[in-house]
Chain A
Amino acid sequence: MHKGLKTLIWIGIAVLGAAALGGIALNRGESINAVWFVVAAVCVYLIATRFYAGWIAARVLSLDATRATPAERLNNGRDFVPTHRWIVFGHHFAAIAGAGPLVGPTLAAQFGYLPGTLWLLVGAVLGGCVQDMMVMFCSVRRDGRSLGQMARDELGRIGGSAALIATLAICIILIAVLGLVVVKAMTRSPWSSFTIFATIPIAIVVGVYLRNIRPGRVLEASAIGVGLLLLSVAGGGWVDSHPQWRELFNYDGETLAYFVIGYGFVAAILPVWLLLAPRDYLSTFVKLGTVVLLAIAIGVLGPEIRMPALTRFVDGTGPIFSGQLFPFLFITLACGAISGFHALVSSGTTPKLIARESDIRVIGYGSMALESLVGVMALVAACVLDPGVYFAINTAAGVVGADPATATGTITSWGFPVTAEQMQTLARAMGEETLFARTGGAPSLAVGMASIFGSAFGEGLLAMWYHFAIMFEAVFILTTLDAGTRVARFIMQDALGTLWRPLGECSWYPSVLLSSLLVVGAWGYFLYIGVIDPNGGINILWPLFGIANQLLAAIALTVVTAVLVRSGKLRYAWVTAAPLAWLVIVTTAASLEKLTSDDPKVGFFAAAADLSTKLAAGVLPPERAAVAPQLVFNQQLDGWLTAMFLVLVWIIVLDMVRGCYVHLRRRHTPLDTETPYVRTQLA
């Protein structure tokens, strides 16, 4: 393209982005159209990917398009295959896009639209995207090594073990929290339960088709599967309207928790082709399709943002999760801005596919920018709801009261007017009995999406859209649950193998059973406690997940900072050291608050003490007293887990600083841990 034209286009994007951001900034007090958020975000991410990532690529990393990548040098036609840039982009984006950036921003909307939007933009541009790109680069220059291996090589045994522990911990807590989101969406909702249950036989049908009937015809099989999924959404409506069938799918949270745990165990030991692989194909298609649909719907409809810029809950008294804006906004948004989990994917399959080093900018940085845009859209979907409705859906019965009149009264008294009739009408329109206290983020996102889709593509189908949105989230949450259990199982088998060698053999069936049982037992425990917790469970688990995720991000940034410093690029080390420093501050502050706060809503130990005092005094109602001992134990366990995360962060960072200091003092030549240069043969 002509150079002048290119410059003009970029100036246009910059002006448009500035206008959109300016529109948001200056329109305080008036209602703002959601389109501006999306336009502002798109422009910011485009400019950041073009210029900041371009600068990092050229100056910091000195990406070299003439250097053969592992995909080219080690090409085996299987995992190492040089692949077109946009195909790798698609694969990588599909791998990193998950439920985190949908749930996190939905919860964080309790602070208002402004803090969440700003951190999604700033955090992704300066932190998350940089992390993904840097880790991918380091892996490409080291034959596609994983984050764990690089941590061992660059930081030593301590760093390596810490990375492994953090990965295992984050997998377990992640699965528990996602399982909780699904359980909360299905509780006492026959329509949702039927649709989500139906995804299992549908996946199996697709799996059998892909293996036995027409092996490997992914597109055919997926088309059939997606068709069946849509039918299951419609079928759920029929089940819901049928008095006998509806009772077959009408369950309370505890029963559903056992179902999910049982499902997780069976899915983990079944052959991959039967359930996981077909489910993964379906979830990828549904996920990408829905994200595109949501973007189009926001563009077509242009809904107004109803949430104020800032709510009173920045002071830490929030009903959805407790704690002040700093540090809990950052912990809650987690994945949408900086996600440590991405470092595992960026150093997993993706670097083995990259054909040219210069592709790393778009694939590493660009995919995360797009993922963060999904987060912005989730935030928009939460903020177009009436704030009163948003709080009524997302606040647990233990916080505002189980009875509709009390709940709406409390929420109205916070300054977010809502009535019981309004909630009843909305629930009926969505095909649900009630929408009160449907915590976990999925139902409120589904209501938001349904109202956006409904207004853009026809009001009459609101209930369909709602359950479609629930199905969309559940399908890929269950994929993550299944895939995550497997990842955790491999780590567990590795660890067990050091105790007794046969247990380390990945395909030895008793070892598979034992390690799957341990992993499912671990996340199942947290899921179960979350379900019986009258305060919704998500308010405990999500911060724990956020801290674990940010810890993993800190480990990833520590590794790449060590690489920069030791390879003689100290002057550019701030590119990763600055987001690392911020993460260390945030995780330390959040962990310390969770450990030492006297407020039982924030501190784990304070909550445990408060609950046991109440239990001893006999002031708890009987149903709460029955679960109180378990909750007390769980709060203490969460406290110790948090303490472990905190200690891990500091061990790794101090170990890295020490290593870098020693290196800078003793050596004057940069340390080269990269695979030697080979010139590319690709045209």
Chain B
Amino acid sequence: MNAHPAAFLIRAWRALRHLSGDDAYERYLAHQRAMHPQDTLLDRRAFYEREQERRFSSGPTRCC
């Protein structure tokens, strides 16, 4: 555990971004560059649209 308060806040902020999907595009870029460097990259908007479409067409996402 990191004792420094600023470091803790940064970690909490990163976790929040990850949890909410705020950093999804950055993660997509990192993944594409590492795994498929030859592919063309989607821009932010195209990526966002594609992800939303996928999220809600792959089975139940919300429950009773």
Interface positions of A (Cβ within 8 A of B): 75, 77-79, 81, 83-84, 86-87, 90-91, 95-100, 146, 174, 178, 210-212, 215-219, 222, 272-273, 276-277, 280-281, 284-285, 334-335, 339, 341-342, 344-345, 348-349, 476, 479-480, 483-484, 486-487, 490, 506, 545, 549
**Choice from B45, B52, B58, B62 contacting A484 with Cβ under 8 Å:** B62
Interface positions of B (Cβ within 8 A of A): 15-22, 24-25, 27-28, 31-32, 35, 43-45, 47-49, 51-64
Q: How far is the CA of A96 from the CA of B49 in the complex (A)?
A: 24
Contact A348 B22 (CB under 8 A): no
**Choice from A87, A272, A284, A339 contacting B63 with Cβ under 8 Å:** A339
Contact A79 B54 (CB under 8 A): yes
Contact B45 A280 (CB under 8 A): no
**Choice from A83, A215, A277, A349 contacting B58 with Cβ under 8 Å:** A349
Q: Which residues of A contact B17 (CB under 8 A)?
A: 219
Q: Which residues of B contact A490 (CB under 8 A)?
A: 57
Q: Which residues of B contact A146 (CB under 8 A)?
A: 59
Q: Which residues of B contact A486 (CB under 8 A)?
A: 56-57
Q: Which residues of A contact B31 (CB under 8 A)?
A: 77, 81
Contact B64 A98 (CB under 8 A): yes
For residue B62, give the distance in angstroms from its CB to the closest CB of chain A.
4
Q: List 13 A-B contacts (CB under 8 A).
A: A84-B15, A98-B63, A100-B63, A100-B64, A216-B22, A272-B57, A281-B20, A284-B20, A345-B59, A483-B61, A486-B56, A487-B60, A490-B57
**Choice from B19, B21, B28, B61 contacting A345 with Cβ under 8 Å:** B61
Q: How far is the CA of A483 from the CA of B63 in the complex (A)?
A: 9
**Choice from A98, A210, A211, A335 contacting B62 with Cβ under 8 Å:** A98
Contact A178 B49 (CB under 8 A): no
**Choice from A86, A97, A210, A342 contacting B48 with Cβ under 8 Å:** A210
User: Which chain A residue lies CB-closest to B59?
Assistant: A348
**Choice from B45, B47, B60 contacting A483 with Cβ under 8 Å:** B60
Contact A212 B64 (CB under 8 A): no
Contact A480 B62 (CB under 8 A): yes
Q: Which residues of B contact A277 (CB under 8 A)?
A: 52, 55-56
User: Which chain B residue lies CB-closest to A277?
Assistant: B52
What 6 new A-B contacts, CB under 8 Å, besides A87-B15, A483-B56?
A77-B27, A78-B54, A84-B15, A272-B55, A273-B49, A345-B61
Q: Which residues of A contact B35 (CB under 8 A)?
A: 75, 77
Contact B59 A480 (CB under 8 A): no
Contact A215 B62 (CB under 8 A): no
Given contacts A98-B64, A345-B61, A349-B61, contact A219 B22 (CB under 8 A): yes
For residue B33, give the distance in angstroms from its CB to the closest CB of chain A.
10
For residue B57, give the distance in angstroms from its CB to the closest CB of chain A.
7
Q: Which residues of B contact A218 (CB under 8 A)?
A: 20-22, 24
Contact A480 B20 (CB under 8 A): no
For residue A122, give the distance in angstroms from its CB to the closest CB of chain B.
20
Q: How far is the CA of A90 from the CA of B58 in the complex (A)?
A: 19
Contact A216 B60 (CB under 8 A): no
Q: Which residues of B contact A98 (CB under 8 A)?
A: 62-64
Contact B19 A87 (CB under 8 A): yes
For residue B54, give the distance in angstroms from its CB to the closest CB of chain A.
7
Q: How far is the CA of A348 from the CA of B55 in the complex (A)?
A: 11
Contact B63 A345 (CB under 8 A): yes
For residue B15, give the distance in angstroms from its CB to the closest CB of chain A.
7
Contact B63 A215 (CB under 8 A): no
**Choice from B15, B18, B63 contacting A341 with Cβ under 8 Å:** B63
Contact B44 A215 (CB under 8 A): yes
Given contacts A79-B54, A277-B56, contact A96 B21 (CB under 8 A): no
The 7 closest A-B pairs by CB, nearest first: A77-B31, A100-B64, A215-B44, A348-B59, A215-B45, A216-B48, A483-B62
Q: How far is the CA of A342 from the CA of B62 in the complex (A)?
A: 9
User: Which chain A residue lies CB-closest to B31?
Assistant: A77
Q: How far is the CA of A384 from the CA of B28 in the complex (A)?
A: 48
Q: Which residues of B contact A79 (CB under 8 A)?
A: 54, 58
Contact B44 A216 (CB under 8 A): yes
Q: Which residues of A contact B24 (CB under 8 A)?
A: 216, 218
Q: Which residues of B contact A281 (CB under 8 A)?
A: 20
Q: Which residues of B contact A345 (CB under 8 A)?
A: 59-61, 63
Q: Which residues of A contact B51 (CB under 8 A)?
A: 78, 216
Q: Which residues of B contact A344 (CB under 8 A)?
A: 59-60, 63
User: Which chain B residue lies CB-closest to A217?
Assistant: B22
For residue A204, give the distance in angstroms from its CB to the closest CB of chain B.
14
Contact A216 B63 (CB under 8 A): no
Q: How far is the CA of A341 from the CA of B63 in the complex (A)?
A: 6
Contact B56 A549 (CB under 8 A): no
Contact B56 A342 (CB under 8 A): no
For residue A383, give the distance in angstroms from its CB to the closest CB of chain B.
22
For residue A302, give the distance in angstroms from its CB to the closest CB of chain B.
29
Q: Which residues of B contact A216 (CB under 8 A)?
A: 21-22, 24-25, 44-45, 47-48, 51
For residue A356, give the distance in angstroms from its CB to the closest CB of chain B.
17
Q: Which residues of B contact A334 (CB under 8 A)?
A: 64
